[in-house]
Amino acid sequence: MSGQFTPIPGGGAAVTLDEVEISIIRSLATQLLELFGPGEETPDDPLAQLFEEGPSEPPSDPVLKRLFPDAYGGPQAPGRRPPDDKEAAEQRERAAEFRRYTENDLRARKRDDALAVIRSLDALVPTGGSAELHLDPEGSRRWLGALNDLRLALGERLEVKDEDEIEDLFRLPDEDPRKPLVMAYLWLGSLQETLVATLLP
């Protein structure tokens, strides 16, 4: 796995992927879509869409919880005193309110990003075992969002809390069932890094 994104004239990016790489990304993006679940039916009225309420509780699945974290509370900053019961209750209330009005839109955007990746891969016609993917600037942004979500999902499954931990996982023996996930995690990180570079001025 060595594909790297390069900038193309007029904006956007290109990368050469072999059939195995195409299959891996497509499979991971499909699994992510299944995890997100089917899209909700949205009202036709734009005003109704604006005030449509979503869930107020965080997801139970750890990957979804990582992709849709609470906006308030979260990890405690070093040296800062933990919140008392009243402050913690207020944080939970603010987080629930924020989630109620933002999660549906965020979930829809993440679903659209994953779907855009799948569709762009499906449009490829490999010749000689590989194909070159060309993305316009919008496609690049969608891919960047999806790659980030895929890495967060894999990181959660691998229980990566700190990037330094990935070094230990990299040394796992080949027969360890986590090794393919580790390799995919590292490879997606490389793809993401090179794609970010193409978007910089």
C-beta separation of 3 from 14 below 8 A: no
The rounded distance, in Å, linking the Cα atoms of 115 and 142 is 9
Q: What are phi and psi of 148, to 5 degrees?
A: -65, -45
Domain boundaries, the chain: 6-39+105-199
Structure pTM?
0.80
* Cβ(3)–Cβ(16) below 8 Å: yes
Residue 76 pLDDT level (bands cut at 50, 70, 90): very low
Whole-angstrom Cα distance, residue 168 to residue 155?
Answer: 13
For residues 169 and 101, the model is more confident at: 169
Half-sphere exposure of residue 136, counting CA atoms within 13 Å on the CB side?
2
With 80 as the cut, is the pLDDT of residue 5 above it? yes
Q: For residue 52, name the pLDDT band (cuts at 50, 70, 90).
A: low
Percent of the chain's residues with pLDDT above 70? 80
Those residues with Cβ within 8 angstroms of residue 35's Cβ, 6 or more apart along the chain or in another chain: 61, 63, 64, 153
- Which spans in the chain are helix H? 19-36, 46-50, 62-67, 85-122, 137-157, 165-170, 179-199
Lowest-pLDDT range of 13-22, 95-104, 158-167: 95-104
Where b means 16+ CB within 10 Å and e means fewer, 141-173 reads bbbbbbbbbbbbbbbbebebeeeeeeeebeeee
